[in-house]
Amino acid sequence: MPILMGYNIEVSINMQKHGNISEIKKEITDFALDSNCDHYYYLYEMEGRCRIPRNHCIIVINFDDSEIFNCAYFLKTLKKKKDLHIECIYDDEIACNLLYASQYYLTTIEKDKVVKYNKNKRERSLSDNDKVVLEPVIKKVC
């Protein structure tokens, strides 16, 4: 079995704000497939005991390195949709390398991982592919 490389994008949809979640999921996954994604899958987060209940569908979409421009176009298009939220972008080549994380996503991971992410964010040098992927979601890419 080949080792999958490339970029993973986690997109969340608040299921409490949408009456037809199946239609939105289909729209996103069809667009991902049209953009030559390698694969995708769904996760669900449901937390009711916190101050702000969370009831989200997360779609994890993987793009191979060879589809970098399609990945960037996919992100640019998703960024324009107000009802979607890009949670994070990472690559899994060796170990998970978190390239982008939303403020909310940072509150959900362990504190030492947040410190590591912030340190890497300040010190990293981005590859050309990383810059292409991050440009649609970050105003200033190093």
pTM assigned to the model:
0.78
Structural domain total, the chain? 1
CATH of the domain at 74: 3.30.70
DSSP string, 82-115: TTEEEEEEEE-SSS-EEEEE-HHHHHHS-HHHHH
**What would the pLDDT profile of 18-47 be if each residue is shown by its tens digit?**
778 899 999 999 999 999 999 999 998 877
CA–CA gap between residue 33 and residue 37 (Å, rounded): 5
Is the model more confident about 53 or about 142?
53
Q: According to the model, what pLDDT value does residue 52 have?
A: 60
Q: Is residue 66 domain-resident?
A: yes
Provide the domain limits for residue 78.
7-134
The CB-side HSE value for 12 (13 A sphere, CA atoms) comes to 18
